[in-house]
Amino acid sequence: MKILVCVKQVPDSGETLSIDASSGWIDYGRSTVFRMNRYDEFALEEALLIRESLPGTVVHALSVGLDRVGSTIRRALEMGADHGIHIRDGRESYVSPFSVASLIASCARTRGYDLILAGVMAEDDMACQVGQLVAALLDLPCATSVIREDFRPGGSEILVEREIEGGCRQEILLKTPAVLTIQPGINAPRYPSLSHVLRARSQPQEIIESRDLGIPEQQEIAGRLRAPDLTSQGIFLEGSSREKARALVGILHEKALLLQR
């Protein structure tokens, strides 16, 4: 069996981010630290658990982005992935989920993956679209928010359980190859072992230029970013209980929240 896990690199914290007025997009700054999207860690761990239960399984990890994305792919190798693929894309500005999914689908189309896994969403944009779009572009069955999967004998079918609205769960039997987006909590992502860390340091990553896959036309563009409006400051009332109550009633009258009789 051959599994592809899509992983994304995200900033570790929003405290170092700002908005570049000239480009209208995020300025990460030199002090920004990047790491693997935590939702994708669950997808990678699930692929590794499948490999342990089905001997002969191979796990590939793929990410799209700038040169720095190589560190996230290396993290996937440290956790146990067998091969890392970096679709190198030099765009600093907004890249739509459709564009990312198109690059992933173009890369995966001829590689014969039996299963494609991704986190249910990314921590930075929370779009929840890439996995489903990859499935649509490859014309594969797809299940989202998966909390359990079970391969049927022969590996041609997979039974998945997914969370749906209202706290309910749904079981679906899919033909493979298929695409699954993994819900957090399905497992406990492992820490890299020393042997895998040492292997990842010397193991070369497969680098594919996005232009060689054919960069699709943007289906959506980002108009502009702005910081959220500051909320009004709270007011501390001082004095005795009677004075505080009188001041509060006055404020409510002023805001037209309490009518006088």
Question: Which tens digits make up the pLDDT trace of 201-242?
Answer: 999 999 999 999 987 777 787 777 777 777 777 788 888 999
Going by C-beta distance under 8 Å and a sequence separation of 6 or more, which residues neighbour residue 148? 160, 161, 186
The CA–CA distances, whole Å, from 50 to 2, 6, 117, 137, 150 equal: 10, 16, 11, 25, 9
> Structure tokens of 19?
């908005």
**pLDDT at res. 221:** 78
Residues of the chain short of pLDDT 50, as ranges, are: none
Nearest to 124 by CA among 24, 222, 8, 10: 10
**pLDDT at res. 9:** 94
> Structure tokens of 224?
């502009």
Distance (Å, rounded) from C-alpha 147 to C-alpha 153?
20
CB 73 within 8 A of CB 8: no
What residue ranges do the domains of the chain occupy?
2-213, 231-261
Helix/strand/coil for 157: strand
**pLDDT at res. 63:** 97
2-213 belongs to which homologous superfamily? HUPs (3.40.50.620)
**pLDDT at res. 260:** 59
Distance (Å, rounded) from C-alpha 46 to C-alpha 143?
15
> Structure tokens of 217?
């036309």
With 0.75 as the threshold, say if the pTM is over it: yes
Going by C-beta distance under 8 Å and a sequence separation of 6 or more, which residues neighbour residue 12? 32, 33, 34, 35
**pLDDT at res. 24:** 72
Distance (Å, rounded) from C-alpha 177 to C-alpha 138?
10
**pLDDT at res. 258:** 66
Number of other residues whose CB lies within 10 A of the CB of residue 136: 15
List helix spans (H) across the chain: 38-53, 70-79, 97-108, 130-138, 194-202, 210-213, 241-254
Distance (Å, rounded) from C-alpha 134 to C-alpha 113?
13
**pLDDT at res. 217:** 77
Distance (Å, rounded) from C-alpha 120 to C-alpha 108?
19
What residues form DSSP beta bridges with 86?
A: 63, 207
* Four-residue CA torsion sign, 174, 179, 183, 189: positive
**pLDDT at res. 138:** 97
**pLDDT at res. 110:** 94
